[in-house]
Structure 1
Amino acid sequence: MIQSLRFLLLIAAFGAAPAYAAPAYLVDADWLAEHIEDGDLVVLEVRYHPHRYLTVGHIPGAVQVQRFKDLGDNTANPLMRFPSKDAFQGTLRRWGINDGSTLVLYDDARTALASRLYFLLALYGFPMEQVKVLNGGTVEWTAFNELSQEPVARAPGDVTLKEADTDLLAEWTDVYDDVVSRRDPDVILLDARPHDMYTGAVIRHSIAGGHIPGAVNVVSLDGTDAQAQTWLGDEALTALYREIPKGKTLYVYCHDGFRMSLAWMQLRHLGYTDVRLYNGGWSHWGNTLTLPIVEGEKPLDGDFAL
């Protein structure tokens, strides 16, 4: 009954409901409400503006994730290189996470922020069958549920992570060698940023504008519903990545590691098997003045097109 009422209200608010993607890790507010008292459940909130954890509120019992400090390497340049195993393991333990914990991740940014946390958990070998993502985030939850402004502290956990799965990573040297220099036909470089940043019309979070030579642009957030904060259906996701052939190695980047993590989740859901994230992304490449860039609509131009 509650689910039917939710469906009708969402249609009234947003129009006819689109068909949503259905990977096993996407859950809705009804699922979370049913399981929120489970003893092994840990809810983790990654807000775009972290102060809103307390001022606007969070799902009751949710632990705050400070997206830059907790999900990057605080001693690196740029900051959003991936944290070390030991640093990330310490963060998870501080959040009260054990090897047997079930995790629910959510944000207020169309799962782009939660996706970074999801990727890091996969990178360091956490059992991913125990990780869920709240599809719709705060919009989904607040349709029928209240938020809390009480801070949450949990007893320290004892989770043990594994060494990084290097098959999920690419460094700038890989990108420069395989794409810019050798133009390996079995490697595709994908830029997940907004199109105006890809072309260089808008410069943000870096000194230089444009894209890495050879990169193609697929905006990962275009695979989500901006109002409902949910993923679009498999048909729409397939259409979004229609120009990206399967069976290739994909290097993906964005600015800070959030949009590219969302692309990683989308691509893996669609059956792309070899998807690697550029550790540092445009925050590294676009601030390293000696590395080449291309401006405009095309992957290559000028001397790079020869």
Structure 2
Amino acid sequence: MKHPLLFSLLFLISTCVFAEAEFLVDSDWLSEHIDDDNLVILEVRYHPHRYHTVGHIPGAIQVQRFKDLGDNQGYPLMRFPSKDQFQSTLRQWGVNDDSTLILYDDSNTALTTRLFYLLELYGFNTEQVKILNGGTVDWSAFEEMTTDPTPQPKPGSVTLKAANPKLFVEWTDVYDNIVSSRDPNFVLLDARPREMYTGKVVKHSISAGHIPGAINIVSLDGTSAQKWRDDEAIASLYKEIAKDKTIYVYCHDGFRMSLTYLQLKHLGYTDVRLYNGGWSHWGNRLTLPVVEGEEPYSGDFAL
């Protein structure tokens, strides 16, 4: 016979392994807070023109996903913007240090997570940042969109910090710890679609395939119908990865890897770092090694 107190404790633990994602909110939450004085609504659409043609949530400010979330003078363009560049952009959107930000997109949160990550990278308090789970689909099912332009807000005064070096890596780190030394304390994740990982499809690069040693976990598999899947489904994607590892993540342009970052952090992984430039950087450097096929290592790298 099971002790009733022990049984209750085990049940409680089994049902509370993962806390509800505090940064995910629904359209009801936004409806209740849309007129808050310190709320800033930011829309990141895959096709930015739809902010004007299809419409946006009333009061939303347009975020142009490449120009506003990358280094406009860098190569590739989607390296992280500098602190000063990103701070200037946030101030143009009317963001202050005490602002509450609500982010939404039409791409299963892959675009908003890039913005969320950059805010965390530069020290903004992400407890003040919310993501609309369901994006444009969730909102438009019950509420109106508008094509009326949002008035230019009063410039904000947000002050960012230097980039947190524990949140990103450069290609040299990937080369040292994964390709060269194969340090077992590190894991490299490729968040792109499977056919791009294998090299069957070549996109956003000259080279086909993946970085030697990378394993493929498609972050968008943790979403469905513009929403995050439940924690059990997301956890199953990453079940083979121990939480005591340092995890490097990359994708094409920095969106899918940002979704991976937030998924892993939500699941309790503590050391997750994004490759600044990703495959758009590595795959266009012809001297850097690549592997094609289903396995992390093949050919000379399998020896």
Smaller-chain TM-score bracket:
over 0.9
Find the counterpart in structure 2 of residue 178 from structure 1: 177
CA distance in 2, matches of 1:243, 1:198: 18
Structure 1 residue 178: Cα displacement: 0.5
Distance 1:229 1:179, change over 3 A: same
CA distance in 2, matches of 1:74, 1:234: 36
Structure 1 unaligned blocks of 5 or more: 1-19
Alignment of 1:281-296 (within 5 A): 281-296=278-293
CA distance in 1, matches of 2:163, 2:92: 20
Which among 110, 113, 132 is matched to residue 112 of structure 1?
A: 110
Percent identity over paired residues: 70
Letter of the 1:69 counterpart: K
Find the counterpart in structure 1 of residue 222 from structure 2: 223
What is the CA RMSD across the aligned residues, in angstroms? Answer: 0.9
Structure 1 residue 245: Cα displacement: 1.5
Letter of the 1:171 counterpart: E
Please say if 1:139 is aligned against 2:105: no
Letter of the 2:131 counterpart: V
Which among 264, 267, 273 is matched to residue 264 of structure 2?
A: 267
Structure 1 residue 22: Cα displacement: 2.9
Which among 249, 254, 278 is matched to residue 257 of structure 1?
A: 254
Structure 1 residue 242: Cα displacement: 1.0
Asked if the contact 1:58–1:149 (Cα under 8 Å) also holds between the matched residues in 2, the reply is: yes
CA distance in 2, matches of 1:128, 1:48: 23
Asked if the contact 1:44–1:63 (Cα under 8 Å) also holds between the matched residues in 2, the reply is: yes
Q: Deviations over 1:108-150 (max 9, x none)?
A: 0000000000000000000111000000000000110010111
Find the counterpart in structure 2 of residue 12 from structure 1: none
Structure 1 residue 162: Cα displacement: 0.6
Please say if 1:303 is aligned against 2:287: no
Find the counterpart in structure 2 of residue 14 from structure 1: none
Report the 3-state secondary structure (helix = DSSP H, G, I; strand = E; otherwise coil) of the residue aligned with 1:167.
coil
Please say if 1:37 is aligned against 2:35: yes
Please say if 1:159 is aligned against 2:165: no
Find the counterpart in structure 2 of residue 206 from structure 1: 205
Number of aligned positions between the proteins: 285
Asked if the contact 1:21–1:232 (Cα under 8 Å) also holds between the matched residues in 2, the reply is: no
Asked if the contact 1:22–1:233 (Cα under 8 Å) also holds between the matched residues in 2, the reply is: no
CA distance in 2, matches of 1:167, 1:150: 41
CA distance in 2, matches of 1:21, 1:30: 20
CA distance in 2, matches of 1:242, 1:193: 18
Letter of the 2:121 counterpart: L
CA distance in 1, matches of 2:69, 2:43: 12
Report the 3-state secondary structure (helix = DSSP H, G, I; strand = E; otherwise coil) of the residue aligned with 2:118.
helix
Of stretches 21-30 and 271-280 in structure 1, the one that deviates more from structure 2 is 21-30
Find the counterpart in structure 1 of residue 97 from structure 2: 99
Q: Which runs of 4+ in 1 moved over 4 A?
A: none
CA distance in 1, matches of 2:205, 2:291: 14
Find the counterpart in structure 1 of residue 239 from structure 2: 242
The normalised TM-score by structure 1 is: 0.92
Report the 3-state secondary structure (helix = DSSP H, G, I; strand = E; otherwise coil) of the residue aligned with 2:73.
coil
Find the counterpart in structure 2 of residue 197 from structure 1: 196
Letter of the 1:95 counterpart: W
